[in-house]
Structure 1
């Protein structure tokens, strides 16, 4: 009986997982795109809120801005642009620069380090554009 329970527990995730075909039936998937450029201040004032602008390249009409992937680790922020890619429509290829923004509230007094995702290098490792922004009181 214990073996049967173990088999059920091990197979349970596979019974509920989705195949790639199931994803395509939804008509979309999410994709992280590299940041081309960033506009932000040279320094932050403690307690203020800032609008940070990111520009990226949208490769086809099938891509639409969805959200940011945003990770916090102390005073380090890792940020990537997430697009919804529609698979159930006919898309023509083109290249268009899109600018999106997010608000950043300064709550600490130490220098913030921002890591903006810029794709993968020739070895398949993630690349980041690093920006250090000091905080003044």
Structure 2
């Protein structure tokens, strides 16, 4: 009886509950932002990314917003694309499209607080593990033409 109970305890303590989920960053390659924002409007735009490999699935965009330290009238918006994968897989044998895009929506423009939006789109890291970004500046309001030809 003691042997049977011991065997039952050992079998019931199996810790393999299925696949684990790991998270990684996908490289953002582009964003379909307008040339300028109009005050009071709400915007949606596509962000393009590249998955690390076909075993990764897009999970979500992670965003962080803060006022620029250099320019009080600039809002900085950092965007990173997160993926999920099974870290138990030692080799990825799946095939699939690595490039895709998803829409980010609900960006409300407030020119009373900011006259410029600085997007920092996470593209990955360098050899020292410092974050690397694709930087895109979008002003609020149609920019003044710099030359007479641009005014036409």
Normalising to structure 2: TM-score of the pair? 0.65
Tell me whether 1:123 sits opposite 2:128 in the alignment. yes
Aligned residue among 42, 57, 60 for 1:64? 57
CA RMSD of aligned residues (A): 2.5
Q: Deviations over 1:19-55 (max 9, x none)?
A: xxx9x95521111111011111010001111112111
How far apart, in 1, do the equivalents of 2:18 and 2:31 lie?
A: 35
* Residues 62 and 87 in structure 1, CA contact (< 8 A), matched pair in contact too: no
CA distance in 2, matches of 1:53, 1:73: 21
Segments of structure 2 that go 5 or more residues without pairing to the other structure are 1-14, 68-74, 143-152
Contact kept, 8 Å, 1:52 with 1:102, in 2: the verdict is yes
Q: Distance in 1 between matches of 2:129 and 2:54?
A: 26
SS of 2:98 mapped into structure 1: strand
8 Å CA contact 1:59–1:93 kept in 2: the answer is no
How far, CA to CA, are the matches of 1:60 and 1:118 in structure 2? 15
Give the secondary-structure state (helix, strand or coil) at the position aligned to 1:27. Answer: coil
Give the strand-richer structure, 1 or 2: 1
Q: Which residue of 2 aligns with 1:110?
A: 115
| Structure with a larger share of its residues in helix | 1
- Length, aligned pairs only: 115
